[in-house]
Amino acid sequence: MLLSAGIALNRGNRRAWTTLARKVHSKGSISPIAPGAAAAAAAAALQQQQQQQGNRAPGILFDIDGVLIRGNTVLNEAKEAFQMLSKRHLLKNIPYMFVTNGGGTTEAHKAHQLSKWLHVPVSEKQVVLSHTPLRMYEQYFNKTVLLIGQGPLKEIAASYGFQKTLDLDDMRKAFPLMDIVNMKVRKQLKSHPPTPIPVPPVEAIFVMHDPLEWESCLQVLIDLLISKDGVPGTLDSKQHIPIIFSNADFLWMAEHPQPRFGQGAFRLCLEALYKELTGRDLLYTQLGKPFGVTYDYAEKLLNEQAQKLGYDGLSYFYMVGDNPRSDVRGANSRQNGRSVLVRTGVFSPHLDNDPSDPAHFVVPHVRDAVQLVMRHFDDGLHHHGGSDELHAHFVQKSRTRSEK
């Protein structure tokens, strides 16, 4: 059961959030996890600011996989798109960011990669990875958190402020008999019985990236989720440990002709096992696109960029993405979001638009998406102050629904 209702919480609909929270409280023993108080205050301030008139800028959020790259290959249209933006000096006039459901690296490293791929300067403040919004969960900064996924997770979590983190290897060392599917491990245990290295009880679990060794992760996470207060080997009839997933994508597009399973597929496995074992729904919080916490975070940074560029703030944003379920759905759920769907990723090339999550615009690739934004920019939309006039202008243009 999804606990996080970031969209409801951060769109100002606190009544819906409270109702959901009450339902959740009645079913489980843990509370839904909203970002910390500082993040909630910042979101409220931004919402209030966005209601004020002024010279506001449009912004662009670029998805990465399936839009700028396929696997390790940078798409030519992506390089061309950023060359066009550079030549028009729009990179200096339009706030833009990269928002991906990928992760497992630092924002600084991804910014460096993007800069090399696209031949434009990219700052780490322009990068929102799937796990970046964890920065807002300051209530866990001093609690023991188990990190699941690939990459330098402890380093990433420390950069966000989390002081006490564990990984899968720490859990294996503390509980050597817990993960023994692997026959080699069983043999090692027999020949060299290890001495357990104790760890403190786990107080929260963050799935920060696609895990490897799913059988090990599933076993360890289930042991914790059914435990009494985060100690594997104990048992309770309620779930005590909150779990946050950073990426809900069931599929993602790499170089293989068919999409690959993503972190969303792993979550489904965990949910199924938990339900089969306990008869209860797993209670979890979800970050990443299309969820509101991630868009709140990205919009906050876009707004700050707009102000640095001399605008009064952000008027609306284009989300350029290949995934209707995450990119388009997320943008469409925001009052000031405009979705631009490209055909270089998971979206079926045989459809005019996605039937479940139709985008405001469908274009072949990111270069055309940037041209679309430039046309709108040339129409002078950015001079309109986020007013009804701007909205009417945009809606009229959007009625074509598809620009090919």
Write down the least CB distance from residue 62 to Mg ion, Å.
10
Report in angstroms how near the CB of residue 214 gets to Mg ion at its nearest: 22
Q: Would you say how long the chain is, in residues?
A: 404
Nearest to 97 by CA among 294, 341, 336: 294
Nearer to Mg ion by Cβ, of 282 and 320: the residue is: 320
Residue among 289 and 384 whose Cβ is closer to Mg ion: 289
Binding Mg ion (rule: CB under 5 A), the pick from 107, 322, 354, 368 is 322
Q: In whole angstroms, what separates CA 280 from the centre of its chain?
A: 26
Please state, in angstroms and rounded to a whole number, the distance separating the CA atoms of residues 31 and 39: 18
Q: Which residue is nearest to Mg ion (CB)?
A: 66
Q: How far is the CB of 100 from Mg ion (least distance, A)?
A: 7
302, 50 Cβ separation under 8 angstroms: no
Between 296 and 322, CB nearer to Mg ion: 322
- Per CB under 5 A, 179 contacts Mg ion: no
Residue span binding Mg ion (CB under 5 A) among the ranges 157-165, 168-176, 317-325, 329-337: 317-325
Instruction: Report if residue 357 touches Mg ion, rule: CB under 5 A.
Output: no
Shortest separation between residue 326's beta carbon and Mg ion, angstroms:
7
Task: Rule CB under 5 A: choose which of 32, 57, 63, 291 binds Mg ion.
Answer: 63
> Which residues have a Cβ under 8 Å from the Cβ of 376 and sit 6 or more positions away?
58, 394, 397
Nearer Cβ to Mg ion (305/323): 323
Q: How far is the CB of 358 from Mg ion (least distance, A)?
A: 17
Q: Mask of contacts with Mg ion, 18-57, x by CB under 5 A?
A: ----------------------------------------
Q: Min. distance of Cβ 61 from Mg ion in angstroms?
A: 12
- CA atoms of 190 and 172, how far apart (whole Å): 15
Number of residues that bind Mg ion (CB under 5 A): 5
Q: Taking CB under 5 A as the rule, does residue 65 contact Mg ion? A: yes
Q: Hey, how many other C-beta atoms are within 10 angstroms of the C-beta on 177?
A: 14
Query: Stretches 42-50, 63-71, 230-238, 351-359: which one binds Mg ion (CB under 5 A)?
Result: 63-71
Looking at beta carbons only, is 219 or 323 nearer to Mg ion?
Answer: 323
Task: Kindly calculate the radius of gyration of the chain based on its CA atoms and give it in whole angstroms.
Answer: 22
Q: Are 208 and 129 in contact (CB under 8 A)?
A: no
Pair 321, 340: CB distance under 8 Å: yes
Of 61-69, 214-222, 264-272, 378-386, the segment contacting Mg ion by CB under 5 A is 61-69
Nearest Cα neighbor of 215 from 172, 258, 160 is: 172
List the interface residues with Mg ion, window 212-271 (CB under 5 A).
none
The residue type at 195: T
Instruction: Specify the residue, 132 or 323, whose C-beta has the smaller distance to Mg ion.
Output: 323
CB under 8 Å to 74, separation ≥6 — which residues? Answer: 68, 117, 118
Q: Distance (Å, rounded) from C-alpha 156 to C-alpha 110?
A: 12
**66 is a site residue for Mg ion (CB under 5 A):** yes
Task: Give just the sign of the alpha carbon dihedral 226, 230, 231, 236.
Answer: negative
Residue 54 burial (CB count, 10 A): 12
Cα dihedral across residues 267, 273, 277, 279: positive or negative: positive
- Write out the residues near Mg ion by the rule CB under 5 A: 63, 65-66, 322-323
